[in-house]
Amino acid sequence: MPRPGRNTYSDQKPPYSYISLTAMAIQSSPEKMLPLSEIYKFIMDRFPYYRENTQRWQNSLRHNLSFNDCFIKIPRRPDQPGKGSFWALHPSCGDMFENGSFLRRRKRFKVLKSEHLAPSKPADAAQYLQQQAKLRLSALAATGTHLPQMSTYNLGVSQPSSFKHPFAIENIIAREYKMPGGLAFSTMQPMPAAYPLPNQLTTVGSSIGTGWPHMYSSGMIDTATPISMASSEYSAYGVPIKPLCHGGQTLPAIPVPIKPTPAAVPALPALPAPIPTILSNSPPSLSPTSSQTATSQSSPATPSETLTSPAPALHSVAVH
DNA sequence: TAGTGTTTATGTGTTG
DNA sequence: CAACACATAAACACTA
């Protein structure tokens, strides 16, 4: 396991599992589903490390897609000719990653065999999923709820719902995320020794390139996979429906939200505090798993670095 | 035939 | 230390 060291990460293996990377790719797509080739592309575009030994990691990735229940295969429609199916995230897999951290899952996502909720036939499941998604979306629209932006994997029990884990998918893939005020961190101090700091990531996706050496950040990538994470659309779609059915093998005409807004999460005001905590060694309000993981894998990053950054900016931004 | 998808096996590192 | 998560390899089937 490569650890974030002092050198550039450009060619080093990112600390994300294939599951994470795949989830990122899928989540980054407007429709929340991608063919295998696009998943490859996404990963190679963003992580130079994966531009080599493609046979190797792509085999592993395919293995993960098949092996893990959190990925569901969606058949191509007749009007979408091509090879292979689309892959999407299982509607119930949202809490796979503790605190939204994509470093390591707290537990493997497994579809229950006796899922009484979900229809058994794919055709039914398709309808069911679509129905659920529509209901969900219309409900959201009706309430006019401004959902916590990109809170897809933000499951933090004691975190404000606006908190976005530095390794959360939103932060990872939100390269095009633009702050309302057009703020940018591109001029930020280079931080070769550390993985993206929460404030950097949460604040502006475009800054990832500088603060996140293992991710490629040249403009060319954007042409490949337009990311709509910053759009309001994502806010809606990105909030998964947890209680949604399991085992939905289907063909959703509309993207199925991945995970519900954690209802249990107390509606606390945005706190700058939790973030630095993650990368530091004190886990107070965060789950040990998450913080431990984050720290263990980015050890050389000195917590002080994270603390010296303009942390407060980050949440006010994240919320909006 | 290359790409895709499934499955089995094995090894390593982490977690409880 | 057992169980788990993950990475990797490899064999094989299917299909555009």
Q: CA A253: distance to chain centroid?
A: 22
Which residues 291-310 on A are within 7 A of strand B at the CB atom?
A: 292-293, 296
The CATH code of the domain that includes A36 is: 1.10.10.10
Rounded to 10 deg, the angle between the A54-67 and A18-28 helix axes is: 80
The backbone torsions φ and ψ at residue A277, rounded to the nearest 5 degrees and listed phi first, read -60, -35
The backbone torsions φ and ψ at residue A53, rounded to the nearest 5 degrees and listed phi first, read 50, 45
Query: Mean pLDDT over all residues of chain A?
Result: 54
Whether A42 is covered by a domain: the verdict is yes
Task: Give the nearest nucleotide to A74, CA to C1'.
Answer: B5
Q: Residues A110-160: pLDDT tens digits?
A: 776 554 344 444 444 445 544 544 444 444 344 433 333 333 333 333 344
Whether A6 is covered by a domain: the verdict is no
Q: What pTM, to 2 d.p., does this model score?
A: 0.56
The backbone torsions φ and ψ at residue A220, rounded to the nearest 5 degrees and listed phi first, read -60, -30
Give the separation between CA A170 and CA A182, rounded to whole angstroms. Answer: 18
Output helix, strand, coil percentages for chain A, rounded to the nearest 5.
40, 5, 55
Q: What secondary structure letter does DSSP report for A216?
A: -
Stretch A204-223: mean pLDDT: 44
Residue A306, C-beta contacts closer than 8 angstroms, at least 6 positions apart: A194, A197, A198, A199, A275, A276, A279, A280
Q: Where are the alpha helices (DSSP H) in chain A?
A: 18-28, 36-46, 54-67, 122-143, 169-173, 198-203, 208-211, 221-224, 232-237, 274-279, 288-297, 303-308, 311-319
A26 or A226, which is more confident? A26
A49 or A215, which is more confident? A49
Q: Which of A25-34, A57-66, A252-261, A301-310 has the highest mean pLDDT?
A: A57-66
List chain C nucleotides near protein: any atom < 7 Å from a Cβ: 4-11, 15-16
Whether A84 is covered by a domain: the verdict is yes
Task: Give the nearest nucleotide to A76, CA to C1'.
Answer: C16
Q: How many domains does chain A have?
A: 1
Whether pLDDT at A51 is above 80: yes
Residue A38, C-beta contacts closer than 8 angstroms, at least 6 positions apart: A25, A29, A225
Q: Which of A49-63, A91-105, A153-167 has the highest mean pLDDT?
A: A49-63
A204 pLDDT tier (thresholds 50, 70, 90): very low
Q: Residues A146-197: pLDDT tens digits?
A: 333 333 333 333 344 445 565 666 666 554 333 333 333 333 333 333 343 3
Token digits of residue A109? 């996502």
Token digits of residue A273? 């505090």
Q: Is A53 left (phi over 0), alpha (psi -120 to 50) or beta?
A: left
Give the separation between CA A65 and CA A73, rounded to whole angstroms. Answer: 9
Residue A263, C-beta contacts closer than 8 angstroms, at least 6 positions apart: none
List chain B nucleotides near protein: any atom < 7 Å from a Cβ: 3-9, 13-16
Whether A225 is covered by a domain: the verdict is no
Whether A270 is covered by a domain: the verdict is no
Question: For the stretch A55-92, what's the b/e string if a residue is b when 16 or more beta carbons lie within 10 angstroms of its beta carbon?
Answer: eebbeebbebbeebebbbebeeeeeeeeeebbbbbbbb
Whether A131 is covered by a domain: the verdict is no
Token digits of residue A30? 């407007």
- A88: helix, coil or strand? strand
| Cβ of A81 less than 7 A from strand B | no
Residue range of the domain that includes A84: 18-98
Whether A73 is covered by a domain: the verdict is yes
User: CA–C1' span, A105 to B16, in Å?
Assistant: 15
A284 or A80, which is more confident? A80
Stretch A9-21: mean pLDDT: 81
Protein residue at shortest CA distance from C1' of B12? A1
A71 near A64, Cβ under 8 Å? Answer: yes
Whether A120 is covered by a domain: the verdict is no
